Structure 1
């Protein structure tokens, strides 16, 4: 936090930040405390007061908007102040390497989820049962200029560059060719190793949909797909302990016979983008959350 001047008192922005930070830490970053921080962040962003901007640096940093925190402090900080210069030095590496890629997600409302579905439909992205938001997870990229799909030969502005196991060297695939199974059929390829999946799914059609008609995800090591209630789960994206707490699913994730006590402790201390990476899944039937984890 930007330090107070000697003998000074906290202003209204600092008082609220201290209270919200305490709430965030005591709750271990639950959804209520994260939502409150986001609401505060948005109100600070609307203010032109320098006192608000100083506190906004701390809110950005707490929510892991590392680049935004660094950029804002660089623009408003007194660079002749030794403490400010020292803090900027510490923040620079995170800003360059992490940027804002590992910001704690704002908990979604039902309205947010519905808007996401409508956006995907407007963009022409098919519904993928086992990977419901491939734009959000980074499985799909957007190109303003457009690229040519290696399967259908058409120009697409949304394309897939993730794992695809085939003999041919494939650069780009459009969402439609993945969803229809044409890409897998044409190149005799798959988006997921059929041996790197949980047991318990007896329906061969479900396995076929997962490996031949579902975009995969990029892991540090071998990607693995979780299953529950006799079906494969939906992949939701990369997470660490802070994200699991913000989504209020840490207890669910730890209630999993796949992990022993030591591994559960590792999950509790994991950092999104760190040496140990967790990948979040959700059961399509009972809603339970599960993770897979690996090391870089």
Structure 2
């Protein structure tokens, strides 16, 4: 048994024992990078296994197609299986690389360097896809200024709006000008008594895209921060699956659904975090 295979077996055991926890995923990603940079054939053979374990199905199939011995029946059988997944999934359901606190801070600093407003209830709107970047720039319908970043999530108004800049959302001008909102004020958790917080959420906070009606979680008397779109694998990789299951909102059947959810699948989970105690919670819906 070569050294690459020994290390893979060790990392796979850690990954399974940790139920896909963040440290085990980071270790696999580090090993993946090491194997990708190696020219050793044995390294490439193990890289197929790493790709497969992390659900980079297309990458696993493409690599095995190049290096696999097609006279070996086991290789042919595995190629057939990987091809089916590669054509159906691609790399779409790959286990995400958990971000370190340093990387999260760097994202916030990048947003700040661009001179963009801070959204308490949606702190990483570039990462979640609420805004997209345009190299050429577009004209904000609200203020008429050219902006490199434009809003892509729901905005509910009578008029059809193409582009809104972050500033016109943050200061409430877009909602006021078009008598619109970024979220339904009835689709929120109870327990928030301050009307100013509801106003900030629906009129000055970027929304997110749900399969059905978007819903906003609340905790500790305030609305939570929306962190992004997740499935069970993302929750495990972040180390918060048990935490989100410890939620009186869900019964045992619904908890099992969360355990089996797939990001981008028929059952989608949306991750929130309390701004005060840090607790993670989810909302989920079906396509």
Could you tell me which residue of structure 2 aligns to residue 6 of structure 1?
Answer: none
Q: Are 1:234 and 2:225 counterparts?
A: yes
Could you tell me which residue of structure 1 aligns to residue 203 of structure 2?
Answer: 212
Shift of 1:101: 4.0
Q: Are 1:167 and 2:169 counterparts?
A: no
Q: Are 1:21 and 2:12 counterparts?
A: yes
Conservation of the 8 A alpha-carbon contact between 2:187 and 2:216: yes
Give the counterpart of 1:188 among 159, 174, 179.
179
TM-score for both structures, normalised by structure 1: 0.89
After superposition, the CA RMSD in angstroms is 2.0
Could you tell me which residue of structure 1 aligns to residue 119 of structure 2?
Answer: 128
C-alpha distance after superposition, 1:51-78 (max 9, x if no partner) = 2222223222322333433443344445
Shift of 1:88: 4.2
Whole-Å Cα distance in 1 between the matches of residues 254 and 275 of structure 2?
A: 25
Whole-Å Cα distance in 1 between the matches of residues 73 and 245 of structure 2?
A: 44
Conservation of the 8 A alpha-carbon contact between 2:245 and 2:255: yes
Could you tell me which residue of structure 1 aligns to residue 50 of structure 2?
Answer: 59
Could you tell me which residue of structure 1 aligns to residue 140 of structure 2?
Answer: 149
C-alpha distance after superposition, 1:114-139 (max 9, x if no partner) = 11111112233321111111111111
Shift of 1:146: 2.5
Conservation of the 8 A alpha-carbon contact between 2:93 and 2:263: yes
Cα 1:20–1:113 change in 2 (3 A) is: same
Shift of 1:48: 1.9
Could you tell me which residue of structure 2 aligns to residue 41 of structure 1?
Answer: 32
Could you tell me which residue of structure 2 aligns to residue 4 of structure 1?
Answer: none
Shift of 1:289: 0.4
Cα 1:187–1:73 change in 2 (3 A) is: farther
Cα 1:91–1:164 change in 2 (3 A) is: farther
Cα 1:54–1:156 change in 2 (3 A) is: farther
Greater mean alpha carbon deviation, residues 15-24 or residues 56-65: 56-65
Aligned residues: 287
Whole-Å Cα distance in 2 between the matches of residues 66 and 175 of structure 1?
A: 37
Which segments of 5 or more consecutive residues in structure 1 lack a partner in the other structure?
1-9
Whole-Å Cα distance in 1 between the matches of residues 71 and 142 of structure 2?
A: 58
Could you tell me which residue of structure 2 aligns to residue 115 of structure 1?
Answer: 106
Q: Are 1:31 and 2:15 counterparts?
A: no
Could you tell me which residue of structure 1 aligns to residue 243 of structure 2?
Answer: 252
**Secondary structure, in 3 states, of the residue corresponding to 1:61?**
helix
Whole-Å Cα distance in 2 between the matches of residues 80 and 175 of structure 1?
A: 57
Shift of 1:241: 1.2
TM-score for both structures, normalised by structure 2: 0.92
Cα 1:136–1:100 change in 2 (3 A) is: farther
